Amino acid sequence: MPKSKRNKIVSLSKTKKKGKEHKESIVNAIREAAEDYNSIYVFSFENMRNLKFKEFREKLKPTSRFFLGSNKVMQVALGRSVSDEIRPGLYKVSKLLRGDAGLFLTNMPRDEVESCFNKFEENDFARTGTIATEKVELLEGPLDQFTHEMEPFLRKQGMPVRLNKGVVELVSDFVVCEEGKPLSPESARILRLLGIKMATFRLNLICRWSPEDFELYKGLDESDVECA
């Protein structure tokens, strides 16, 4: 009788060791990159879209390198205080790695970096939990954009619809979402069907470090670094 894969014993010590080795490899990669590139930036991101980020990363690959992942691991790599920073001033960069953030190491001139990040913006369909940027309401009457085959699906999303001579009809006004409120799974699906994009994937520069200086973006000042 073949052995059940479900009953296979996995050594926790091995999985922990693998996780530790992975973290150490990231730390080493960041430290090597910190020596190879002229400047280091911290950036935050909103509404991450992996495919679009990959395209952006590939575009800048010849002159730059990105790191995303555990903020704590990236902080350890750079040094979290003056006593353990790997290059002078990098502890300030480390303190700003919080929330949805990443590292960008590059040899690109400062103005080119700022231009690339400021221009990068990608609109996409919002996902469940995203805060609605506007109120969307459908008025009673025929919904010509939907075929009759979609009527059961629309009903499952909570829409008060029926078929009238083969045409999907809304029997009463229906609010898909309210501005400032998180989208439900049903609202997100309906907005996608309507072709309404409420999410914008952005990358925002937070700070820039070079051997010569350190600069904060987004209206931050030195007190934000000390309090981080």
What is the structure's pLDDT at 18? 58
Where are the alpha helices (H) located in the chain, listed in sequence order?
A: 12-36, 50-60, 71-78, 90-95, 110-119, 151-156, 185-194, 222-227
Class of domain 128-195: alpha beta
What is the structure's pLDDT at 22? 87
- Looking at residue 182, the DSSP 8-state letter turns out to be B
Q: How many CA atoms lie within 13 A of 59 on its CB side?
A: 11
Given a cut of 70, the residues of the chain with pLDDT beneath it are 1-18, 219-228
pTM: 0.77
Which part of the chain has CATH 3.90.105.20?
Answer: 128-195
What is the structure's pLDDT at 120? 93
Which part of the chain has CATH 3.30.70.1730?
Answer: 21-124+198-225
Domain over 21-124+198-225 is classified CATH 3.20.20.210: no
What is the structure's pLDDT at 228? 53
Distance from C-alpha of 16 to C-alpha of 124, rounded to nearest angstrom: 37
Task: Give me 71's structure tokens.
Answer: 């903020």
What is the structure's pLDDT at 8? 45
What is the structure's pLDDT at 218? 72
What is the structure's pLDDT at 173? 97
What is the structure's pLDDT at 226? 58
- Residue type (1 letter), 5: K
What is the structure's pLDDT at 5? 40
Write the CB contacts of 63 (distance below 8 Å, at least 6 apart in sequence): 106, 107, 108
**Cα pseudo-dihedral 40, 45, 51, 56, rounded to 10:** -40
Task: Give me 130's structure tokens.
Answer: 């995203």
What is the structure's pLDDT at 225? 60
